[in-house]
Structure 1
Amino acid sequence: MKKSVVILGAGESGLGSAILAQKQGFAVFVSDLGKIKEKYKNVLLQHHIEFEEGQHSEEKILKSETVIKSPGIPDTAPLIQKLHKNGIPVISEIEFAGRYTNAKTICITGSNGKTTTTLLTYHILKNAGLNVGLAGNVGKSFAGQVANEQHDIYVIELSSFQLDGMYDFKADVAVLLNITPDHLDRYGYHMQNYVDSKFRIIQNQTKNDFFICCSDDEIIQKELEKREIKAACIPFGLKDPVEPGAGISDEKLIINFNQKQFSMSILDLSLQGKHNTYNSMAAGIASMVFEIRNEQLRESLAGFQGVEHRLERFLRVHGIEFVNDSKATNVNSTWYALESMHKPVVWIAGGIDKGNDYSMLKSLVKEKVKAIVCLGKDNSKLHAAFDTVAKNVVDASSMEEAVKAAYYLARNGDTVLLSPACASFDLFENYEDRGNQFKEQVRNL
């Protein structure tokens, strides 16, 4: 009898898991409560993988030996609770794929900067000629690549939701960029639960592994005092560099690692701004673990093109610059975006609030924002936070309305910034859809 595996959710990670499970000889059943995208459905049909959409057949699912669930499904969902009660392991795609590869892994998490750091690290290793795959929240699914491609190293972006479904998986190089309140709605509005989730990035690490973390982040530093870290700990921060570690001295980014020193002017980094200096340091250290030569590292840090939907300077219309930062799905990301603006801002914000505390934005809004366009089904929290801070606060119920309102409120020399500080699921499929609609509407002006 074949072992059975059920996959909940037929998105990118679910599809990859299904193909890998079939290749490993499992009897596979894919179940999605929503509608499965045509391109994914076609792949399932080609592989003769059994699937259902628009429902979860509980009787069948509860007979499974292992369940791989999409990170979007919360542990509190009744079906997941039943699976736990029946003692059926519920794991993430990353956990499953990790069982079938001996490749080295660089795993990157944090509340902000994950995607940029992951893509930058991948860019550095690929430029140096290494056989490297990009997976997790970006790129193709990890499981799909393990099934169909053989890479020596994977650079994997991990959200807390993915980490929650990981048990035996180990990161050879773990990167923890920062921890600020996010997704608290999924963690019982208890910050420590979220912190514990992020620290799963170092579970199962040994003294032969590496843990790269931010020395300027108070939450991380407090947590390190409580925990026994087995891996070699390599800190990075904006103060003088330590050995081993990364820091800034005389406007130079310096990394000390393994008796080697790397340095370059922070003015030569392709990614500018304080938050990006952190990202460049973390990616630089991770790359030096794999013995990338200094000149290759310098070239990659200077030539990286950045990330779509992350502070993407998109278009200028009648002297007004439009910046797409749709990827800013929490308050801290938006703080960085506003902090990096040097012209008067018309700020488009809003969406699904994940237990946001907007107080940290108030002084920046007072200093830099001339008007706010609230884009969401329920904008009451934004109004409560900013009606007394900004001169103009208006509502919009579609991206077309929001862009037109922002354009009307802006003047030559101003910046219109889409940086929502919220999830996108009330009006959009995801942050990419939100960013793409923004760009489309700006083009239509």
Structure 2
Amino acid sequence: MERLVVLGGGESGVGTAILGQKEGFEVFVSDKGIIKEEYKKVLEHFEIDWEERQHTEEKILNADLVMKSPGIPDKVPVVVKLKEKGVPIISEIEFASRYTKATIIGITGSNGKTTTTMLTNHILKEGGLHVGMAGNIGDSYAKMVAEKDFDFYVLEISSFQLDGIVDFKPHIAILTNITPDHLDRYEYKFENYIASKFRIAKNQTKEDYLIYDADDEVIVQWLQKNPVQSKLLPFSINRKLDEGAYLENDKIIIKTQNNTIEMGTDALALEGKHNVKNTMAATTAAKLISIRKETIRRSIENFQGAEHRLEKVLKIHHVQYVNDSKATNVNATYYALDSMKTPTVWIVGGVDKGNDYKELMPLVREKVKAIICLGTDNSKIKDAFGNVVDLVVETFAMDEAVKVAYKIAERGDTVLLSPACASFDLFKNYEDRGKQFKEAVKKL
């Protein structure tokens, strides 16, 4: 019996353990931290051996196969030792894909992947397909494959998950964009991160498709130097394309295999240029799976966006409060500011991942009337924008930040939480940060 060791007892780890056991592996789950109660109950229900607060080497190094959760870096001692022994280390995405014959749509990118994943899933569901949504979002992909294997999977895939693939191959891959993010995991080399994202197309053949942003210089240049096998379907909001999706007179036009759909952008439930792009990517994928034009139209009109992503919370005294806590990097915040149509009070800050705020300068000059810093160290934000914005206030708790915003904002303004940073200094994660914002707004 082959031994499968799962490092990390979270959503993907426990899902992998369940599938591994079903497929006849002897399974052991090891977590350096504490495993949540709900996951312990699941492991005990399936009688799977587990440990927490430690990695016992004699129980790990004898593995035939290791699934490493995406949050665990390669530099961890036990991972280094496994590599030295030549034990294969894969991601959940790789493991689960070996046990399903479903058609896979894989979505990656620095920003927009959650919205694109949710929208693609929504269109396929509305089209009556038997579809599961998993990966970096919601439920474990491996657990889905174990319990109710679907005909189609829409997977949101992070670069960390792609680092652990060997044969994984989506029939349709979507690459939303590539901007510097998580460089601390890639030796601070942008090209390592780009290469990681492009692994999504590494095993594709000419029967498969790669949908990508043709306005993204990083993607276009990489493809010129590193051609892929798959059929390319670009999308653009700047120019007309022979094949793919583009914008013309406020209409989205999608051309695939001698077949054209047109849709007015006024029908989109989501605002902002970046959401036009997310919609182009999702609808191109749906079109390749032969979803009917009417279904696609209806789906994009009634789609509810992702929580914590430009989410309208409340309007109080004619001031709109918007929760964009999921903006954990500069590029995501760029999209948020770009979609603001009114003077903006901007709440920003947190754990800086090596941010360069220069690209936000023109938008901040044009749209931001005040900045409220929310982090334990706000010096970089104050240095960047202190001369551009009249009012910069420092706060150290969400309640305080929201109260200050309430005082500053006037009729017709927008208060925007779009931190451009990770959340770990003051919050558990970006969801916690977004929930605290929404609660503070409701208390006003």
* TM range, smaller chain: over 0.9
Give the deviation of 1:244 after TM superposition.
2.4
Give how far 1:399 is off. Answer: 1.7
CA positional deviation for 1:139: 2.6
- In the alignment, structure 1 residue 123 sits paired with structure 2 residue 122: yes
Inter-partner Cα distance in structure 2 for 1:31 and 1:24: 19
Gaps of 5+ in 1: none
Return the letter of the residue paired with 1:381.
Answer: K
Question: Given residue 360 of structure 1, which amino acid in structure 2 is its aligned partner?
Answer: E
Task: Quote the residue 1:21 is aligned against.
Answer: 20
Aligned to 2:135: 136
Q: Distance in 2 between matches of 1:184 and 1:220?
A: 17
Give how far 1:387 is off: 2.0
Report the equivalent of 1:185: 184
Counterparts of 1:425 and 1:412, CA distance in 2: 33
Contact 2:173 2:210 in 1 (8 A): yes
Spell out, residue by residue over 1:112-151, the C-alpha distance to the aligned partner (whole angstroms, 9 max, x if none). 1000000000000000000111011113111000000120
Residue of structure 2 in register with 1:9 after alignment = 8
Q: Is the 8 Å Cα contact of residues 271 and 339 (structure 2) preserved in structure 1? A: no
| In structure 2, distance between residues paired with 1:377 and 1:269 | 38
1:330 aligns with 329
Correspondence for 1:230: 229
Task: Please name the residue that 1:245 is paired with.
Answer: 244
Q: 1:325 to 1:4 in 2, by over 3 A?
A: same
TM-score by length of 1: 0.97
For 1:244 and 1:372, how far apart are their aligned partners in 2? 43
Who is 1:341 aligned against?
340
Q: SS of the counterpart of 1:96? A: helix
Matches within 5 A, 1:43-442: 43-442=42-441
Secondary structure in structure 1 of the residue aligned to 2:393: strand
CA contact 2:31–2:53 (8 Å) conserved in 1: yes
- CA deviation vs aligned residue, 1:130-182 (integer Å, no higher than 9, x gap): 01110111131110000001200100011111111112111110111111111
Residue aligned with 1:133, SS: strand
Q: Name the CA distance, whole Å, in 2 between partners of 1:294 and 1:307.
A: 23
Counterpart Cα distance in 2 of 1:148 and 1:95: 17
User: Is the partner of 1:101 in helix, strand or coil?
Assistant: coil
C-alpha distance in structure 2 between counterparts of 1:71 and 1:352, whole Å: 20
1:302-358 deviations in whole A, cap 9, x for unaligned?
Answer: 221111110001112233221000111110000010111122211111122111111
For the residue of structure 1 that corresponds to 2:412, the secondary structure is: coil
1:179 counterpart SS class: coil
Contact 1:262-1:294 within 8 A present in 2 as well: yes
- Measure, in 1, the Cα distance between the counterparts of 2:123 and 2:209: 18
C-alpha displacement of 1:240: 4.6
Cα deviation, 1:218-262, whole Å, max 9, x if unaligned, reads 111101111122111111101454332111112211001122110
d(CA) in 1 for partners of 2:77, 2:372 = 37
Superposition deviation, residue 75 in structure 1: 1.5
Q: How much identity, in percent, do the aligned residues show?
A: 58
Aligned-partner Cα distance in 2 for 1:233–1:48:
46
**Distance between the aligned counterparts of 2:441 and 2:280, measured in 1?**
34
In structure 1, what residue type is equivalent to 2:421?
A: C
> Using the alignment, how far apart are the partners of 1:398 and 1:26 within structure 2?
47
**Which amino acid is 1:280 matched to?**
T
Please tell me whether the aligned partners of residues 202 and 228 of structure 2 are also in contact (alpha carbons under 8 angstroms): no
SS in 2 for 1:356: coil
Moved over 3 A (4+): none
Contact 1:189 1:355 in 2 (8 A): no
- State how far apart, in whole Å, the 2-side matches of 1:39 and 1:197 are: 32
The residue type equivalent to 1:302 in the other structure is E
**Counterpart Cα distance in 1 of 2:55 and 2:180:** 32
Q: Does structure 2 retain, via aligned residues, the 8 Å contact 1:241–1:255?
A: no
